[in-house]
Structure 1
Amino acid sequence: MNSLPYHEQQDIENIKKLRELIKSLPLFCSDFFRGIEQRTSSRTRIAYAYDLNVFFHFLQEENPVIAKLSMSEITLEHIDSLTVTDMEEYMEYLKYRLNDDNRHIINKERGIMRKISSLKSFYNYYYQNESIKNNPAALVKLPKLHEKDIIRLDIDEVASLLDEVEQGDSLTLKQKTYHKKTKVRDLALLTLLLGTGIRVSECVGLNINDIDSKNNGIRIHRKGGKEVTVYFGDEVEKALSNYLNERNTIIPEAGHEDALFLSLQKKRMSVKSIENLVKKYAQLITPLKKITPHKLRSTYGTSLYRETGDIYLVADVLGHSDVNTTKKHYAALEDERRRSARNKVILREKNTKE
């Protein structure tokens, strides 16, 4: 399997994981996952499986009929018999619960909304296939979401972050020991994230031969497996070039020969390791902001929009399939641009005579 591209390896691992998750659900659920396979990614289906697992555990805990049944004994007839009240009780249950390990689980608005959206898709599938007569999930109102401020780095914070990566002055003595070994890699990685806005999963999946040094581009695989080329500027080119000189001297572990970014164990870096790397440096620069790789993506999108004013270009470069997604994230900037336009059109020249 190591000969397959990284994104295909991940898809196979996700499919294997999904099959195990489906085994823990009622038997009829396998029809739902087969039915949505062609229009969803494996990661999306895994999220559905987790959400449905929570729903069925709720029914086993709270529903007097289903509480007497094992998971395999739950049928579509039981699902068809549920009401809007059951759905509303489930929403209440989601706010706070104990999981199987007696850990406290708290869901806020967005967490509840995602789980109810999963349930709506689940019910819609069987209702549209005429497998059930009732669709109480369709009648449930989703919780009202309060808009959250988009967290991003300011221009001076971006410069300070890259300076810290390059110099490591604020790191602990132990961190400085590792920093000597990873400085060039870390600078290339963070410069790439900040200079292209690619997703952390896309960054993890990069191979050495995905870099087009001649045209300053990288080949990445977007969500759904679509292959695109993203272009970068001179700062990214310099940081990547320095790292490639170092990377070419490293002998990777078997199965990781093609990977661009390697860990100290000489294996392809994981999403988690890049998240920890970003967190380590960002906390030194802006401790009050919770900076993740996705926030670096938002930082790039903001800079690009401010420079170009082209929301469609931003959507295209970030890989948003719907420009409305982009508009939602950069609505405040759009409003700022509209306000700045108020004095751009002059109706009458001012009289300069005294």
Structure 2
Amino acid sequence: MEILTRKFIDYIKCTRELSENTIESYKRDLYQFNEYLIQNNIEESLVNISKTTVITYMIYLQKKGRAGSTIARTLASLRTFYQYLLNEGLTRNDPTNNLKSPKQEKKFPSVLTLDEVNILLNKPDISTVKGVRDKAMLELLYATGIRVSELISLTLEDVDLNLGIIISSRESSNERIIPIGKLCIKSLDDYLSIYRTKLVKDKKADNLFVNYHGNKLTRQGFWKIIKTYTKNANIEKRITPHTLRHSFAVHLLENGADLKSVQEMLGHADISTTQIYTKMNKKRINDVYKKAHPRA
């Protein structure tokens, strides 16, 4: 098991160009499967595991209360592993062949109400340099729906306050021009005209948002910022940096924006990705109706 797993992990590292998190998931899934075989005295060798054993393991995970997504990922890990063994001629057996992944419950992402957005966006203390910067970042995220990775990559050149636009992902195939509203423009203007110069050490630095050392802000840095304001806002929802992106999309659709425009602003390659927000919007309307209508 140990040797086969190491070879497999080396293979996917070199040829599949997967992220470290994905590779760790594959490794963990394989070791947990092997642990299950040992604990249950299943004496089949790894290369000759029966389909029944894999099915029994899936049922075991289900009884343990593992989420459908976790079980589906485990099966995907085992399937990839056995495809590797087949391709390398290390087995003639694929116990995962024709096995179907469990149906996964689709969970809608967390979305803030307009009141919650206002509470969160007004939490930064704009009498401080940090507060003005944070306010500008939060306003920009909600105004445009851009990803945090895009936010921290913005440069001064990407912002035109006179036209009221930003250019996101300028260096990639996903470049798009996104309008920004007057409240966001004001927050950015306050930050750029007075406060950014107090943070930047190198006058040639062109990053729009910088940390206290004058360097480009990191994803981890922004995560800490939003966690702080979420805690201060006392909002009883799990808020991530992506929550403002989801809220941006749902609020646009609620107020009559067409799906194609929202897709373009979000930078989704496929409109089916954007359609989840339409479903969320319908669910929210249904929930409101059930709570408010006396005969619902």
TM bin, normalised by shorter chain, reads 0.7 to 0.9
Q: What is the CA-CA distance between 1:62 and the residue it aligns to? A: 3.7
1:165 is paired with a residue whose SS is coil
Once the two structures are superposed, the pairs formed by residues 16-165 of structure 1 within 5 Å of their partners are 26-37=6-17, 44-63=18-37, 80-88=47-55, 90-91=57-58, 108-121=67-80, 123=82, 133-165=92-124
Alignment-mate amino acid for residue 288 of structure 1:
E
Of residues 298-307 and 229-238 in structure 1, the stretch that sits farther from structure 2 once superposed is: 229-238
Deviations 1:93-145, CA, capped at 9 Å, x for gaps:
76799xxxxxxxx9533334334344445555676898864433343332333
CA distance in 2, matches of 1:195, 1:149: 21
The answer to whether 1:271 aligns with 2:271 is no
Are the structure 2 counterparts of residues 141 and 24 from structure 1 closer, same or farther at C-alpha, using a change threshold of 3 Å? closer
Q: What is the CA-CA distance between 1:153 and the residue it aligns to? A: 1.2
Among 164, 184, 187, the alignment partner of 2:132 is 184
Are the structure 2 counterparts of residues 335 and 238 from structure 1 closer, same or farther at C-alpha, using a change threshold of 3 Å? same
CA contact (8 A) 2:145 2:246 kept: yes
Among 255, 258, 262, the alignment partner of 1:307 is 255
CA contact (8 A) 1:278 1:293 kept: yes
Among 225, 233, 241, the alignment partner of 1:285 is 233
- Residue 9 (structure 1) aligns with: none
CA distance in 1, matches of 2:96, 2:75: 8
Q: What is the CA-CA distance between 1:157 and the residue it aligns to? A: 1.7
Among 157, 175, 179, the alignment partner of 1:228 is 175
2:134 is paired with a residue whose SS is helix
Among 199, 204, 210, the alignment partner of 1:250 is 199
2:122 is paired with a residue whose SS is helix
Deviations 1:284-305, CA, capped at 9 Å, x for gaps:
3343111111111110010111
1:136 is paired with a residue whose SS is coil
CA distance in 1, matches of 2:80, 2:177: 33
1:164 is paired with a residue whose SS is coil
Are the structure 2 counterparts of residues 115 and 286 from structure 1 closer, same or farther at C-alpha, using a change threshold of 3 Å? farther
Q: TM-score, normalization: structure 1?
A: 0.64
Q: What is the CA-CA distance between 1:265 and the residue it aligns to? A: 3.2
CA distance in 1, matches of 2:97, 2:262: 34
Query: What residue ranges of structure 2 are gaps of 5+ in the alignment?
Result: 287-296
Are the structure 2 counterparts of residues 294 and 111 from structure 1 closer, same or farther at C-alpha, using a change threshold of 3 Å? farther
Q: When the two structures are aligned, how many residues end up with a matched partner? A: 277
Q: What is the CA-CA distance between 1:49 and the residue it aligns to? A: 0.5
CA contact (8 A) 1:32 1:122 kept: no
CA distance in 1, matches of 2:270, 2:280: 18
CA distance in 2, matches of 1:212, 1:130: 59
CA contact (8 A) 2:199 2:211 kept: no
Residue identity (%): 26
Of residues 117-126 and 267-276 in structure 1, the stretch that sits farther from structure 2 once superposed is: 117-126
CA distance in 2, matches of 1:337, 1:309: 16
Greater relative contact order (Cα < 8 A, sep 6+): 2
Alignment-mate amino acid for residue 153 of structure 1:
L
- Residue 16 (structure 1) aligns with: none
